[in-house]
Amino acid sequence: MIEARRLHILRAVADHRTVTAAAAALYLTPSAVSQQLAALEQETGHRLVERGAKGVRLTPAGEILLSHTNAVLAQLERAEAELAAYGSGAAGTVTVASFATGIALVVAPALARLAETAPGI
């Protein structure tokens, strides 16, 4: 399985074009970035970057993985945001039960107000 943390490193290397610059942007050492890239290459079974005198560039396999990386990381960020909203009480599910006589006078207005003030619930 591919680790999301390593995908983040791949994206930084693609953006910055050098391991050193990617490491600085991620607050890591260049050695740590190189090790994580090597581990990602092992996980995928493909060479993902080519090192040259002017830095690194993605291989075709690296480009394919990068195209998926942006979508995967964006989805993970959305999941984290939803979990944070749920944890803070800004999102979730409310179950309501009422007698028929209370629905129109009490429950319906309360649900309408809840929908206005807390749209995530």
pLDDT at residue number 97: 82
pLDDT at 85 over 90: no
What is the structure's pLDDT at 118? 81
Q: How confident is the model at residue 102 (pLDDT cuts 50, 70, 90)?
A: confident
Domain residue ranges of the chain, discontinuous segments joined by +: 4-88, 92-121
What tokens does 89 get? Answer: 């009480």
Average pLDDT along the chain: 91
Domain 4-88, what fold? Arc Repressor Mutant, subunit A (1.10.10)
CA 19 to CA 55: how far, in whole Å?
7
What pLDDT does 42 receive? 96
Coil, strand or helix at 12: helix
Task: Calculate mean pLDDT across residues 57-72.
Answer: 95
* Contact call for residues 91 and 121 (beta carbons, < 8 A): yes
pLDDT at 114 over 90: no
Q: Give the pLDDT mean for 62-90.
A: 92
| Phi-psi domain of 120 (left: phi exceeds 0; alpha: psi -120 through 50; beta: other) | alpha
